Amino acid sequence: MIEIERRFLCRVADTAALEREGRRMAIQQGYLTLGAPTVRIRQKDGAYLLTIKSGSGRVRQEVEVPVGSAEGETLMAMAGEHRLEKVRYAVGRWEIDIYGDKLAGLVLAEVELEHEDEPLPPPPAWLELAREVTDDPAFTNQRLARLGPDEAARFVREANASRDGRRASGRAGV
């Protein structure tokens, strides 16, 4: 299956609106490969999906296969420390990911498109898109999952500083 997606570093201006309007899903992802193709195990709402993705940028090939709980837990354990946690809010066609654990403070929004040159649907009024990161390999979930705690904290500070147009020494915010 072809996936056409754009991703943005963003800020949620009204968290109450996000909670009120968004459908909330807790997600844990573990990565089983270093490079291409990306092989990921995802636990979402108690179910496991094994996903293989190839390509980069806006257009990628993606195959998802449901796996049982025992297999999912084994694959997650195989991912070791190469994991990430996030809470995803689905609002219309937009998905807003609020990262947790070592990536706390990082907020990305993504939207899947029907075709590559489709105009972006308008984001919710309370979602501020700061910078597109679709083609930036530093923002792939596979890379983010591989960051150690200190690297991840530095990455979030720098990303939020660039989002806010200030120096990386400032505090990180959502």
- In the block, which residue shows the tokens 């990262």? 99
Percent of the chain with pLDDT over 70: 95
Domain contains 42: yes
Q: What is the total residue count of the chain?
A: 174
Total structural domains in the chain?
1
CB atoms near residue 167 (< 10 Å) = 10
Domain contains 139: yes
For residue 111, what are the domain limits?
2-164
Name the token pair of 169: 């020494």
| Distance in angstroms (rounded) separating the CA atoms of residues 104 and 171 | 12
Domain contains 172: no
pLDDT confidence bin for 171, thresholds 50/70/90: very low
Domain contains 154: yes
Whether pLDDT at 41 is above 70? yes
What average pLDDT score do residues 119-124 get?
96
User: What is the model's pLDDT at position 66?
Assistant: 98
Domain contains 55: yes
Question: Is this prediction's pTM over 0.85?
Answer: yes
Whether pLDDT at 166 is above 90? no
CATH of the domain at 56: 2.40.320.10
Whether pLDDT at 158 is above 60? yes
Whether pLDDT at 174 is above 50? no
Domain contains 169: no
